[in-house]
């Protein structure tokens, strides 16, 4: 039975990079780029770490879990402007139509983008010998919140640049 | 009649994307948010294709697919998985239950359309025929079967239709036939020697004239693995031996996308007549129920306000029929239409046995019913209480 130590940081990084790139390219026609420079990451640790700076844009985080030979959760953070832009593109709506439709529509669209991203990420793990299944997505919204994992959890956080916005993929995995 | 495509996904976003993807095509998109709703919708609407997600609350896609394939009335509906669950083992497990295709999210709308086109003959709106072909229009049906007695049986069983049923006994003859005569539907026996049914299927699908022609596999009822193999390679559906001709006719009609409403609904002397045939199988009831609301609405739209519900051909009553009739009566009340029932003595007697039907009153002939609707005050026609 494979254990989590065998899942290397490289495997996780390659999988999340492929998943985010595939989903945003296929569904939104965007090309997110994984930020590798530690300086760029240090400058803006929130989300998911620390506290939001003053006047920070509200954030939407889509969460989907994966359960099986490896268990975990992936939080996909998008600022509200990017979330709205993504929803309009996905559903073929204008900004005005989205205003009328309300937050529910944005939540559902980001839930589905997160589902696709986590699906693609965990399919990579499945094909690497760690079968697992997805859970149903949920959404967090707010201007200042943080997720604190329990101590036995391995945490990997990846930052992407997309159309002048930042996407954060925060992966929490636990040994079984 | 347009193709019906059912999308079963708990994400409204995906359902909207699917609707958007098919917008340019002459088809109706139906939606369900989980497996339970999906099964109910599949039974009610008999869609031509189901797009099915896996991870959903209440009932997931795998359970819905398993139940669908275990239901004789629903198992032939082609299913394409549309899901983020794309691990190799998972895909193989689901493929074994029986799906026609598997599309892993994220997906491009063009890919969804291309894959759907391999299952249903989608037509762009502009090219779609103004009026669907009906069951009263002629069509060419080709039977490819090495036993002439079976060909003869099918010709006999479908002789009441306007269809010309041709029979050939070999693969080469079938190919030659299709090159000369356009076939509207083809039935290929899986008992042809040396698996030539599958070779013939591949040839038909690679030939321009027959690329989209419905091709049914004819198999012995108990040969389940052979039937599964046929569905996996892409046969439109399965017809089983011993033959049930009403089932065969219904399957061919559906695959040819024929308007079958005239079997159940017609305009006669200023009345909408709804009639049920002698043998009301679940497929017949589902077909009739599909047309119920649109036909009643169409009648009201044309200025009609009277309905004859004719069940005099029925041999026996069961809950499915009662449910449909109650729905029809409710529809009449909602639309402000006057209705009368026509039945035969056996059915009228059977109505006494059910709580819901005990109070129904019948006319014993269509003429009596029409006479009453034309002039309700001109003397009492023959009215029979259940």
B313-326 pLDDT, tens per residue? 998 888 889 999 99
- C-alpha A108/C-alpha B17 separation (Å) is 12
The CATH-assigned architecture of domain B261-385 is 2-Layer Sandwich (3.30)
Angle between helices B319-335 and B282-301 (to 10 degrees): 10
Task: Report DSSP state, residue B318.
Answer: -
Please state the rounded mean pLDDT for residues B90-97.
90
- C-alpha A10/C-alpha B342 separation (Å) is 75
- Cβ of A91 within 8 Å of Cβ of B20? The answer is yes
- C-alpha B352/C-alpha B121 separation (Å) is 47
- Cβ of B55 within 8 Å of Cβ of A136? The answer is yes
- C-alpha B35/C-alpha B132 separation (Å) is 31
Prior bond to A47 cis, omega within 30?
Answer: yes
Using a pLDDT cut of 90, give the percent of chain B over it: 53
Task: Give one word for B27, left, alpha or beta, with left for phi > 0 and alpha for psi -120 to 50.
Answer: beta
Q: What pLDDT is attached to residue B132?
A: 57
User: How do residues B254-268 score in pLDDT, each as one tens digit?
Assistant: 888 888 888 899 988
Cβ of A133 under 8 Å from any chain B Cβ?
Answer: yes
CATH for B3-127, options being 1.20.5.50, 3.30.365.10, 3.40.50.2300, 3.40.50.1820:
3.40.50.2300
Q: Would you place residue B382 in the very low, low, confident or very high pLDDT band (cuts 50, 70, 90)?
A: low
Residues of chain B neighbouring A134 (CB-CB closer than 8 A): 54-55, 84-85
Chain B residues contacting A via beta carbons under 8 Å = 10-14, 16-17, 20, 54-57, 83-90, 104-108
User: How do residues B186-198 score in pLDDT, each as one tens digit?
Assistant: 999 999 998 899 9
- C-alpha B99/C-alpha B115 separation (Å) is 13
Q: What pLDDT is attached to residue B384?
A: 58
Please state the rounded mean pLDDT for residues A40-62.
74
At the topology level, CATH places domain B139-255 in Rossmann fold (3.40.50)
Q: What pLDDT is attached to residue A40?
A: 63
Cβ of A26 under 8 Å from any chain B Cβ?
Answer: yes
- C-alpha B209/C-alpha B182 separation (Å) is 7
- C-alpha A16/C-alpha A66 separation (Å) is 14
Q: What pLDDT is attached to residue B137?
A: 87
Cβ of A105 under 8 Å from any chain B Cβ?
Answer: yes
User: How do residues B336-355 score in pLDDT, each as one tens digit?
Assistant: 999 999 999 999 898 888 88
Using DSSP, state whether B49 is helix, strand or coil.
strand
Residue of A nearest to B58 (CA): A136
Q: Which two tokens stand for residue B120?
A: 């249903």
Q: What pLDDT is attached to residue A87?
A: 95
- The closest of A4, A52, A8, A6 to A168, measured between CA atoms, is A52
Give just the sign of the alpha carbon dihedral B103, B109, B112, B115.
negative
The torsion defined by the Cα of A105, A109, A114 and A116, in degrees rounded to 10, comes to 150
Distance from CA of A26 to the nearest CA of B (A): 6
- Cβ of A134 within 8 Å of Cβ of B13? The answer is no
Residues of chain B neighbouring A22 (CB-CB closer than 8 A): 106
Q: Confirm if B309 and B274 have CB atoms less than 8 A apart.
A: yes
Q: Confirm if B304 and B339 have CB atoms less than 8 A apart.
A: no
User: What is the value of ipTM here, to two decimals?
Assistant: 0.89
Q: Would you place residue B247 in the very low, low, confident or very high pLDDT band (cuts 50, 70, 90)?
A: confident
Please state the rounded mean pLDDT for residues B112-120.
92
Does A5 score more than 60 pLDDT?
Answer: no
The residue with greater pLDDT, A37 or B41, is: B41
In the block, residue with structure tokens 């819905």: B64
In chain A, count of helices (H) and strands (E)? 5, 7
Residues of chain B neighbouring A119 (CB-CB closer than 8 A): 83-86, 104-105
Q: What pLDDT is attached to residue A3?
A: 45
Does B1 score more than 50 pLDDT?
Answer: no
The residue with greater pLDDT, B198 or B382, is: B198
Does A2 score more than 50 pLDDT?
Answer: no
Which candidate from A22, A91, A134 shows the least CB-CB separation from B55? A134
Q: What pLDDT is attached to residue B88?
A: 85
Does A4 score more than 50 pLDDT?
Answer: no
Mean pLDDT, chain B, rounded, equals: 89
User: How do residues A122-175 score in pLDDT, each as one tens digit?
Assistant: 999 998 888 899 999 999 998 877 777 777 788 899 999 998 898 999 999 985
Residue of B nearest to A22 (CA): B106
Cβ of A82 under 8 Å from any chain B Cβ?
Answer: no
Does B235 score more than 80 pLDDT?
Answer: yes
Q: What pLDDT is attached to residue B150?
A: 95
Which candidate from A87, A119, A135 shows the least CB-CB separation from B86? A119
Q: Would you place residue A176 in the very low, low, confident or very high pLDDT band (cuts 50, 70, 90)?
A: low
The torsion defined by the Cα of B17, B23, B27 and B33, in degrees rounded to 10, comes to 20
Q: Would you place residue B381 in the very low, low, confident or very high pLDDT band (cuts 50, 70, 90)?
A: very low
Distance from CA of B84 to the nearest CA of A (A): 5
Residues of chain A neighbouring B105 (CB-CB closer than 8 A): 115-116, 119-120
User: How do residues A71-98 score in pLDDT, each as one tens digit?
Assistant: 999 999 999 999 999 999 999 888 888 8
Distance from CA of B97 to the nearest CA of A (A): 18
> Which of B84, B88, B104, B111 best probes binding to A when mutated, by most A CB atoms within 10 angstroms?
B84
- Cβ of A133 within 8 Å of Cβ of B55? The answer is yes
- Cβ of A111 within 8 Å of Cβ of B11? The answer is yes
Using DSSP, state whether A77 is helix, strand or coil.
strand
Q: Would you place residue A44 in the very low, low, confident or very high pLDDT band (cuts 50, 70, 90)?
A: low
Q: Which two tokens stand for residue B191?
A: 């008992």
| Ranges of CATH 3.30.750.24 domains, chain B | 261-385
- C-alpha A74/C-alpha A156 separation (Å) is 10
Q: What pLDDT is attached to residue B175?
A: 93
Q: Which domains does chain A have, with CATH numbers?
A: 4-174 (3.40.1550.10)
Q: What pLDDT is attached to residue B94?
A: 92
């Amino acid at each position: 039975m494979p254990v989590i130590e065998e899942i290397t940081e490289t495997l996780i990084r390659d999988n999340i990079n492929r998943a985010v790139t595939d989903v945003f390219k296929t569904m939104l026609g965007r090309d997110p780029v994984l930020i590798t420079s530690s300086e760029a990451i240090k400058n803006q640790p929130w989300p998911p770490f620390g506290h939001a700076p003053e006047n920070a844009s509200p954030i939407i985080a889509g969460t989907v879990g994966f359960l099986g030979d490896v268990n975990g959760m992936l939080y996909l953070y998008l600022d509200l402007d990017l979330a709205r832009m993504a929803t309009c593109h996905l559903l073929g709506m204008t900004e005005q139509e989205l205003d009328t439709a309300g937050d529910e529509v944005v939540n559902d669209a980001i839930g589905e983008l997160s589902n696709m991203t986590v699906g693609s990420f965990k399919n990579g793990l499945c094909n690497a010998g760690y079968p697992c299944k997805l859970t149903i997505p949920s959404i967090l919204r707010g201007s200042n919140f943080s997720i604190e994992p329990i101590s036995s959890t391995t945490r990997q956080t990846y930052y992407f640049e997309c159309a002048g916005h930042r996407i954060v993929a925060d992966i929490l995995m636990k040994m079984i | 009649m347009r193709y019906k495509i059912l999308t079963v996904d708990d994400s409204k976003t995906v359902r909207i994307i699917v609707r958007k993807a098919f917008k340019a095509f002459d088809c109706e998109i139906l939606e369900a948010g989980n497996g339970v709703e999906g099964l109910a919708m599949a039974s009610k609407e008999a869609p031509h294709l189901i797009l099915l997600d896996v991870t959903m609350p209440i009932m997931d896609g795998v359970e819905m697919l398993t139940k669908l394939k275990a239901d004789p009335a629903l198992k032939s509906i082609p299913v394409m998985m549309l899901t983020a669950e794309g691990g190799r083992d998972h895909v193989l497990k689901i493929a074994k239950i029986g799906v026609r295709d598997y599309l892993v999210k994220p997906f491009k709308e063009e890919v969804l359309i291309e894959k759907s086109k391999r299952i249903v003959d989608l037509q762009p709106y502009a090219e779609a025929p103004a009026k669907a072909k009906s069951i009263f229009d002629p069509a060419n049906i080709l039977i490819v079967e090495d036993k002439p007695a079976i060909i003869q049986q099918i010709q006999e069983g479908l002789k009441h239709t306007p269809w010309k049923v041709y029979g050939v006994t070999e693969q080469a003859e079938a190919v030659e036939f299709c090159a000369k005569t356009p076939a509207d539907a083809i039935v290929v026996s899986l008992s042809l020697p040396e698996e030539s049914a599958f070779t013939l299927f591949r040839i038909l699908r690679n030939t321009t004239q027959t690329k989209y022609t419905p091709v049914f596999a004819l198999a012995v009822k108990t040969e389940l693995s052979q039937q599964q193999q046929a569905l996996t390679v892409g046969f439109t559906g399965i017809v089983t031996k011993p033959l049930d001709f009403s089932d065969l006719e219904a399957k061919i009609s559906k695959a040819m996308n024929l308007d079958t409403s005239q079997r159940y609904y017609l305009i006669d002397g200023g009345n909408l007549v709804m009639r049920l045939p002698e043998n009301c199988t679940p497929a017949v009831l589902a077909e009739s129920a599909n047309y119920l609301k649109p036909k009643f609405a169409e009648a009201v739209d044309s200025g009609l306000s009277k309905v004859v519900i004719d069940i005099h051909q029925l041999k026996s009553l069961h809950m499915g029929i009662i449910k449909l009739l109650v729905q029809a009566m409710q529809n009449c009340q909602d639309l402000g239409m006057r209705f009368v029932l026509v039945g035969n003595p056996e059915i009228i007697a059977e109505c006494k046995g059910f709580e819901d039907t005990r109070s129904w009153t019948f006319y014993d002939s269509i003429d009596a019913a029409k006479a009453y609707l034309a002039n309700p005050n001109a003397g009492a026609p023959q009215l029979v209480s259940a």
